Structure 1
Amino acid sequence: MEFEAPTSPRFFVLEEGILRSRYDVDVDTVDPVNHGDAPRCPRCGAFVGLLKWLPPYRVELELHGKELGDFIKNSAYELLISERLAEAFRAEGLTGLEGFHPVEVLRVRCMRKRPRQPISVPRYSVVSTCYGRAAVDTMLTRVRTTRPITCLECRSTTINAIHGIVLEPGTWQGEDIFRPRGLPGTLVVSERFKDFVERHGFTNMRLTPAEQYVKDPSNLGPAPLPTA
């Protein structure tokens, strides 16, 4: 009987669908917009998130595509998800989202040619994303930064380019969607979450294997790997 060594967990970066896709949409929050404090690193005090959005949750949507999808990224910290996505997430016991507060959509502005049929507007909830214990492997993740990391708790720095994300072994605690230490503005999901999205056919969600993820607006190229 052959023994199969356990494989390392696979992770994926979650983004909205491609720009100008069928589900392309922008979110505008509507006054009054209330905010709570932004989270900070318990060790160095650096910010590890944006100001928390507080009720009332009221938005207007600008639809550049043809229909509204299941997933709208207000920011990496707060997402709008459809009722069917929210119900399936909780029913299947996935982890990493909290809140699930109803959102009032006051208006949908169609930015393209007015459709013949009225736009169907799903019921949306706002959810907060987990700031997990999973940490970016500073030796293997090829990011270009403007300053060195000084706090090994939050691993906060200014990042100018990302060419692949590798998480430090043993730091992930099983969340299905989370923001890792070192990249708090990036949404990372488990393989279970990827399978969940594909099985249900949820829309406006793009999943890229973490080690293949590239974000490099200035075309700086990947940082060199450390030498032995």
Structure 2
Amino acid sequence: MRTWLPPYRVELDLPGKDFGDFVEGPGYDFLISERMAEAFRTDGLIGLLGFHPLEVVRVRRKRKSAGAIEVPRYLSVTACFGRGAVDETRSRFRRAQPITCPECRYGGLNSVHGFSLEPGTWQGEDIFRPRGLQGSIVVSERFAEFIQRHGLTNMKLTPTEQYTWDPLHLGPPEAAPSAPS
């Protein structure tokens, strides 16, 4: 993926009446409110990179509303690529082809119906992209508590064992994952 370079300018779509603390951005980047960034740093969490201030050049509202709206300050961040690796034996994947690279663990993924990380591979990041599912963001329990404690908005967390990604509607694989030893 291409790296987003300065100047950092965005157009935001506002589907409701309020802005969220988390906004999907281009590529691997996403936007977080200044409030979220300050709380992240204060609480000593790790895993976000960048923290580039950006300019909101336009806001498109989905609903008609009268009056001006105050746009919070946002920063562009990226979740780090962590060492945590998906455990193939305890995860429920449909693959079109086997894994071709033991490091990135890429290999024709068609669907995900829950996953686990390989024991001993996670290195304590609070937010990261795991090896084997680089397109997904995984967060620690500490990060989930952080969101709740600060009342941060526009994020939905799903436990990894319940996470589903099935764009072709293939359904879960027939074989159940192996029990952990």
Scaled to the shorter chain, the TM-score interval is over 0.9
Aligned letter for 1:82? S
Mapped contact 2:92–2:177 kept (Cα < 8 A): no
Whole-angstrom CA distance in 2 between matches of 1:76 and 1:168: 26
Mapped contact 1:85–1:202 kept (Cα < 8 A): yes
Larger RCO of the pair (alpha carbons < 8 Å, separation 6+)? 1
**Is 2:123 the partner of 1:188?**
no
Whole-angstrom CA distance in 1 between matches of 2:90 and 2:72: 41
1:79 Cα deviation (Å)? 1.1
Mapped contact 2:91–2:177 kept (Cα < 8 A): no
1:226 Cα deviation (Å)? 5.8
Whole-angstrom CA distance in 2 between matches of 1:187 and 1:75: 14
1:212 Cα deviation (Å)? 0.8
Q: Deviations along 1:65-101, whole A, 9 cap, x unmatched?
A: 2221000011572110000000000011000001101
Look up the match of 1:168.
Answer: 118
Mapped contact 1:67–1:120 kept (Cα < 8 A): no
5+ long unaligned stretches in structure 1: 1-49
Query: Equivalent residues in 2 for 1:1-228 (5 A)?
Result: 50-75=1-26, 77-112=28-63, 114-223=64-173, 224-225=175-176
TM-score, normalised relative to structure 1: 0.74
State the aligned residue count.
178
- Secondary structure of 2:122's counterpart equals coil
TM-score, normalised relative to structure 2: 0.93
5+ long unaligned stretches in structure 2: none
Distance change >3 Å, CA 200–CA 227, structure 1 → 2: closer
Tell me how large the CA RMSD over aligned residues is: 1.6
